[in-house]
Amino acid sequence: MNFIKVSSACPVTKVGDIKYNYEEIVHCIESAAAENSKAIVFPELALTSYTCGDLFTHNTLISQALTYIEKLIEASKNKDILVAVGSPFLYKSRLLNCCFVIFEGKILGIVPKSYIPNYSEFYEKRWFSEGIDLKSKLIDLPFQKNIPLGTDLIFKCGSASFGFEICEDLWVTIPPSSYLALGGANIIGNLSASNEIIGKANYRRNLVENQSGRCICSYIYSSSGVHESSTDILFGGHLLISENASLLKENKRFQRDNEIISAIIDLDKLNTERLKNISFRDNSKVLDLDFKEINFSYKSLDFGTFDRYINPHPFVPGNPKEMKERCTEILNIQAAGLAKRIEHTNLKKAIIGISGGLDSTLALLVIVRTFELLNIPMENIITITMPGFGTTDRTYNNAIDLCKGLGTTFREINIVAAALQHFSDIGHDPSIHDVTYENVQARERTQILMDLANKEGGLLIGTGDLSELALGFCTYNGDHMSMYSVNTSVPKTLVRYLVRYVADHLSNDNIRKILLDILDTPVSPELLPKDKDGKIAQKTEDIVGPYELHDFFLYYFMRQGAEREKIHFLAKVAFKDKYTDDEITKWLDKFIFRFFTQQFKRSALPDGPKVGTISVSPRGDLRMPSDASYNTWM
């Protein structure tokens, strides 16, 4: 597991008071180091302050800045934290706006600002020169020789590779961080002085998030605070840490004390994403990239308390507004995919088996949405319920009421007699409730549905979801098969939210009540006889484990290619108050075993739309051999 804790800091400053600023910077470094942070990024020109104006050209300010850089180097000893601090630096009669990268009593490198803004409220070219042309120079200072200077420096320690840019560099068409990322940097620091005007904070946040997404990196942003000069502009001390387009931490601006935000970065996640993203790798082929890699070593990568939030339901957004938008988007994708298939086949009817369970309910709701879209009457939806040995009154009545309430053409075909006849034909004792007993029913239902689709001239719509496919909890050539499968990339945890979303937006109270009761019904294929009280005896999650755990495992296994140890660790964090370590271990082993042994079912999937970042379609995201061994992953 490769995690690293990083920080963004905004110290209290006094304009031009370098000694005071140095002391506050050291306080921040000590605080971050005490919290096991391994990198800290300060604002642009933090050592002098950004708003010194013509004082930047005074030898006193320039020389004193260098004096306190030397003191900062001394203060960094035995801290085990990479420090990126802004300071002016005179190089061959050119005053550069620089990031000094300091570690354990040494300057690892100096990165100049590539682009100097000179428009609107910015007037930097009066004092500073662009550093875009400076590459891999070596300079000597009175206290250290052969210091790398340039915009092409990457600072590497193990899996962590740091690159730095300064303020305006992020605002240009192709930021230097884009090149740094293609050169291998997976953590970008930005030392900034971005003033506050109406709406700018949102734009700045979007820039940081989007750049971290494009570069598949973590982006640490630090901007000057309220103690800069307020002669004409005001700074808010905006601090941001983003990771691959997701905002991990953000401060409240306009703070008047030293402020530090920290976040734990998942380096494995970033590196795996880059490995999978072929376009990211290919992008570097069109560029002449030649970066100087500067190696350094931490004493320890211990991050202390793991305070990174791990969503126990990674497929489900926590923000209600985002959840609503996600549900709308998914239902639109499902309906649009089915609409295209109906238009292409010119079949105006849909056939679907309705069990009174979650998956078939969602599929039916998608069909209804599609038929509304295509102006096809609801009676062209042929819904069939097929009670068997395990069908309970609750699911049976919900199936009937839902289908009739939606105005579909409803039929009931009891499969008990057909199943008993088949048991007789193959010589199976119906008192033996084994896999044969269950699969005979599942295949009988699919045969009925397929044959009715032929008879009616319609499409058989599949109902199985992503979670069932990942676990192989479906009957091969039974409920595993259809003519188009609308739920094929929707995980079980998200199925629940989609059904609830539809229920919450219905004007029909009766249908809403039915949907809510379906949501409250235990997940079950109902292939084994019901209990003595007529209730569901066969509960899926008792057999394969909690779907919320399996969806969590699936996300990290597929999306990040995470190792078993990491999945287990993250699950313990996410479900610390719900499942024991032994339970997580048990169901993770079950997930890995079933994921590998059931691939043959996924290799023969019918068509269906991809709605999220993960799909197990053999034509899309997953090209996996059906006979691969799981031993390495266990």
Question: The domain spanning residue 22 has which CATH number?
Answer: 3.60.110.10
In a domain, 296, yes or no: no
Q: Which residue has the tokens 């303020």?
A: 167
The pLDDT value recorded for residue 459 is 97
User: Can 403 be counted among the known catalytic residues?
Assistant: no
Q: Which residues are annotated as a binding site for deamido-NAD(+)?
A: 439, 468, 601
Task: Verify that 562 and 520 share a domain, yes or no.
Answer: no
Total domain count, the chain = 3
Q: Which residues are annotated as a binding site for L-glutamine?
A: 119, 194, 200
Residues of the chain with pLDDT under 50: none
Task: Verify that 149 and 280 share a domain, yes or no.
Answer: yes
Task: Verify that 193 and 81 share a domain, yes or no.
Answer: yes
Task: Verify that 22 and 128 share a domain, yes or no.
Answer: yes
Q: How far is CA 472 from CA 59, 342, 354, 464, 546, in A?
A: 73, 28, 20, 10, 15
Task: Verify that 262 and 410 share a domain, yes or no.
Answer: no
Nearest 5°: the CA angle 403, 404, 409 is 75
The pLDDT value recorded for residue 523 is 82
Token pair for 546: 């909690």
Q: Which residues are annotated as a binding site for ATP?
A: 353-360, 463
Q: Which of 10, 28, 167, 474 is catalytic?
A: 167
User: Can 167 be counted among the known catalytic residues?
Assistant: yes
Cα 518 to its chain centre, rounded Å, is: 30
Q: Which of 44, 196, 243, 438 is catalytic?
A: 44
User: Can 113 be counted among the known catalytic residues?
Assistant: yes
CB neighbour class for 477 (10 Å; exposed up to 12, middle 13-18, buried from 19): middle
Task: Verify that 91 and 178 share a domain, yes or no.
Answer: yes
Token pair for 181: 């990322």
Task: Verify that 575 and 530 share a domain, yes or no.
Answer: no
Is there a contact between 266 and 561 (Cβ–Cβ < 8 Å)?
A: no
Q: Which residues are annotated as a binding site?
A: 119, 194, 200, 353-360, 439, 463, 468, 601
Task: Verify that 520 and 555 share a domain, yes or no.
Answer: no
Task: Verify that 533 and 549 share a domain, yes or no.
Answer: no
Q: Which of 113, 269, 349, 610 is catalytic?
A: 113
Task: Verify that 613 and 494 share a domain, yes or no.
Answer: yes
Task: Verify that 266 and 347 share a domain, yes or no.
Answer: no
Q: How far apart are CA 202 and CA 84, in angstroms?
A: 25
Task: Verify that 283 and 340 share a domain, yes or no.
Answer: no
Is there a contact between 5 and 303 (Cβ–Cβ < 8 Å)?
A: yes
Token pair for 33: 């180091």
In a domain, 374, yes or no: yes
Q: Which domain holds residue 437?
A: 320-540+600-633
In a domain, 563, yes or no: yes
Strand order in the sheet with 94-102: 137-141, 144-149, 107-112, 94-102, 82-91, 39-41, 3-10, 259-266
Question: The domain spanning residue 625 has which CATH number?
Answer: 3.40.50.620
Closest by CA to 387, choosing from 376, 398, 372, is 398
In a domain, 405, yes or no: yes
In a domain, 304, yes or no: no
